[in-house]
Amino acid sequence: MKGLNNILVKGGFWGVAALFGVTACSDDHFDIQTAGPVGSKTIWQNIEEQPQLDSLAMILSRTVVMKDENDQKSVLTYAELLNQSQSFTVFAPLNGTYNAKQYIDLLNEADNLMASGTEEGKAQALALRYTVSNQFAGNHIARFNYESNQSAQDVRMLNSKLCEFNAGDKLFNGVSLSSDEYNASNGTMHVLNGQSPFRNNIYDFMENDSRFSDIYAYLSDPLIETREFSESQSTQGAMNENGEMIYVDSVYVTHNEVLDYCGALISNEDSLYIAMIPTNEAWKEAIETLKPYLNYADEYGYDTQNRVVNNSYFGQTQTFTQEERDSLFEYNAKMMLAQSMFVNPSTFDGIDTSDSAAVISHALSADSLIATNYVIYYNPTPGQQNPIFNPAVPTRASNGYIFPLEHFKTDPRYVWMTETEFSPSGSYMFGQNLANYSTITLTDANRNTEIEGAEDVDYIVRFEKSGSMSLYFRMPSNLLSGEYKISAVMAPSAILLNYAESEEAQDEEIEFDATIETDYNQTMGQRVTGLTVSPEKVDTVVLWENFKFERAYYGLPEEVSSFPVLRLSLSPRYRNCNALNIIQFIIEPARPNEDTTEGE
């Protein structure tokens, strides 16, 4: 909810003490009262009869039970609800232990806005009423009867929040219980020495904390978050004089391009996430950090039929102005960052997700963390605290743990520049007319096990031609600008038994050249010559240790499908064998002080 949502709870989040179960209140003379005989009065009747609960009674009698801020249909108050035969557990705060006036004032303001008769006033009134319903009334009432003879249990409140009820420690949601307890005909009422704190979910947390106003403004932008009327979920009333349907209960569904895509349901109370949210300063730092990796060119070729025509790989060209390039950068940088902020602790192997301390400890020092969009955060110091967490003190939300990132300390080479393997055949291959090729599956019948590494090879793609041979391969279209290590996994012809005994295979001596090109055979970077294939083993041939792509291909408009082209050239100067046997290509980020040949 925008603007009005959670206006009462700024600064009311659980701190680290509450996160780890440290209590702030104690009562050495407290005696737990277990449930006695069922009373003849309802919970509401018990509330009405207790003078020390008259503030609560005043609020509940005026607060309507609402399922969301657009609920116009419901007229049932919480007082009426608690007077029914359904079973409830109520945690009732004593007079004087909380600011009841703020809720009464909101209800008065809502009545005045509703009386204005305008659609805007009606919407604001519903929002205010829902604030009271969600943050206060629904935060103290649960369906079903939760007995006080259990030492600790999670209670699902009417506002969907989960709160811990620990009778042994005399606490509900971190607030101490009075010795008073009432057994009613429709449940139980426990009396609290204070208001149960309302915990924001992660999305609400961003909305209400000014440190995150920039990231929240991005996520809630109408271009990112849309709200659509759901005719199928709404309740029809009658036609108006214009023949238009009037709905007595209009339901709206919210879609968020960022959160929906990465699968982070951070408004869902049934979910659990670790959120690494950059403050406004860190958000700016992060965007600036990504500039070298999202460097867009002013021209890209696109529209290809997987063949080389008139020395060109593409049939059309798209040009971008500087303003369009800046827009591409900003859109993709913010999208990359926002979609990578959330981790689901269910991916933590062997960790009990109900154990807050264990979840947080694992997150801080794990070798890697997998975000909900499958981006992996590697820890450069495994076993020690991952430097991405600064500081390392989280805040508890109703559906997870929030790490405010005061500075952006993530190296994009370890997160968004990832290793990719691609095939030398199929959609990755150009120029089928330039060489004879075949994909050969290796089996016990045709595999030469004398070749080192042959037993680990399932297939090879063989290219051969009696003369000059040039092979063209489509490289991945999601490459960032930056430095990559590029390799080809290759095998000698003798890996095939029918070649192993041939004179050509025994004398095989292959050298080839490699270039990376774009558009009209324009070379990107330096041409590499004299690359060799080992005649004795399956070998990973490094084509470039540090190839720098000056332009980014990641996140281009859908209609501009562009990519660099890897070209391998073999001259006819080798009399005995003119063939290349390729298993796969590997492109991986060139990272400092790291042997990337070992993979991740």
Mean local confidence (pLDDT), 209-232: 87
Confidence (pLDDT) at 146: 80
Q: Does domain 420-598 have CATH number 2.60.120.260?
A: yes
Is 494 in a helix, a strand, or coil? helix
Cβ atoms of residues 457 and 538 within 8 Å: yes
> Cβ neighbours of residue 560 under 8 Å, at least 6 residues apart?
300, 302, 318
Q: Is 60 exceeded by the pLDDT of residue 573?
A: no
426: left (phi over 0), alpha (psi -120 to 50) or beta: left
Both tokens of 95, joined, read: 């007079």
Rounded Cα gap, residues 138 and 104, in angstroms? 15
What is the CATH superfamily name and number for domain 16-198?
FAS1 domain (2.30.180.10)
Q: To which H or E segment does residue 18 belong?
A: helix 16-19
Q: Read off the pTM.
A: 0.76
Rounded Cα gap, residues 476 and 343, in angstroms? 26
Q: Is 90 exceeded by the pLDDT of residue 490?
A: yes
Mean local confidence (pLDDT), 571-596: 75
Percent of the chain predicted with pLDDT > 90: 56
Confidence (pLDDT) at 374: 93
> Which residue, 563, 570, 561, 566, is CA-closest to 584?
566
Say if residue 391 is preceded by a cis peptide, omega within 30 of 0: yes
| Phi, psi angle pair for 344, to nearest 5° | -95, 115
> Cβ neighbours of residue 361 under 8 Å, at least 6 residues apart?
none
Q: Is 70 exceeded by the pLDDT of residue 431?
A: no
- CA angle, 546 then 551 then 557, to 5°: 135
580: left (phi over 0), alpha (psi -120 to 50) or beta: beta
Mean local confidence (pLDDT), 427-447: 80
pLDDT tens for 53-66 read: 999 999 999 999 99
Taking residue 418's Cβ as centre, other Cβ atoms within 10 Å add up to 17
Both tokens of 576, joined, read: 């005995």
Rounded Cα gap, residues 479 and 588, in angstroms? 10
Q: Is 80 exceeded by the pLDDT of residue 35?
A: no
Confidence (pLDDT) at 506: 59
Confidence (pLDDT) at 249: 59
Rounded Cα gap, residues 23 and 19, in angstroms? 10
Cβ atoms of residues 236 and 352 within 8 Å: no
Amino acid at 130: Y
> Which residue, 599, 565, 590, is CA-closest to 430?
565
Both tokens of 204, joined, read: 């609400």
Confidence (pLDDT) at 508: 66
pLDDT tens for 524-553 read: 878 899 899 998 899 999 999 999 999 999
Is 397 in a helix, a strand, or coil? strand
Rounded Cα gap, residues 469 and 200, in angstroms? 64
Instruction: Kindly list the strands in the beta sheet with 187-192, ordered across the sheet, starting from the edge strand earlier in the chain.
Output: 141-143, 88-93, 187-192, 175-184, 171-172, 162-166, 153-156
Rounded Cα gap, residues 209 and 550, in angstroms? 39
Rounded Cα gap, residues 565 and 473, in angstroms? 6
> Which residue, 66, 76, 250, is CA-closest to 160?
66
Q: Is 60 exceeded by the pLDDT of residue 19?
A: no
Confidence (pLDDT) at 572: 59
Rounded Cα gap, residues 364 and 368, in angstroms? 10
400-405 vs 273-278, strand pairing mode:
parallel
* Domain locations along the chain: 16-198, 200-415, 420-598
DSSP state of 164: E
